[in-house]
Amino acid sequence: MLDDLREARRLLDLVINDTDLNARALRAGEAMIAALRTGKKILICGNGGSSCDAAHFAEELTGRFRADRKPLAAIACTDFGHITCTANDYGFDHIFSRWVEALTREGDCLIVLSTSGNSLNIARAVDVAKALNVTTIALLGKDGGRVKGTCDHELIFPGATSDRIQELHMLALHAWCLQIERALA
């Protein structure tokens, strides 16, 4: 266990000391705040554990994070009816892109979570969002994969394994919750 904790601390220290990454994270948070201020919404999606992180982020905004405040418009693509229908009828690679096409409007924000950046369903969601003039934000890992360079805002976190990268993604999501809450409370 100590080795895992030391590795998590090492990676967190890399993130803390990466001034460029932190500046990009701040700008991404500002983009979400701007969208919410103008009545737009935040949508978020990911596969597996990243799907759970997407749901967690959305509920922190629609419910509450640290302060009592009005609920904020956020939706995670976790509806099993949509996912299974779309996967069955169109293929798993289309589950997020069809959801984005159905629910986003110009000025919304789409956050995609992918520890590898190589999920075709995530890449397709970004493509549809860009075509609809939706602000795109990516939380990635490793080398950023196929999604690298395709989003308006991009954060690539260090780590060799999905669990370490997801831990850093969750820290970023919580930091954004606080940034958003402080700006809009």
125: CATH: 3.40.50.10490
Rounded-to-integer distance, Cα 166 and Cα 168, Å = 5
Q: pTM (2 decimals)?
A: 0.97
Structure confidence at residue 19 (pLDDT): 98
Looking at the 3D structure of the chain, how many domains does it have? 1
Structure confidence at residue 178 (pLDDT): 97
Structure confidence at residue 185 (pLDDT): 80
**Do residues 178 and 58 touch, judged by C-beta distance below 8 A?**
no
Spell out, as residue ranges, where the chain has pLDDT lower than 50.
none
Q: How far is CA 146 from CA 17, 35, 46, 83, 117, in A?
A: 26, 26, 15, 22, 6
Q: Name the residue range of residue 136's domain.
A: 2-184
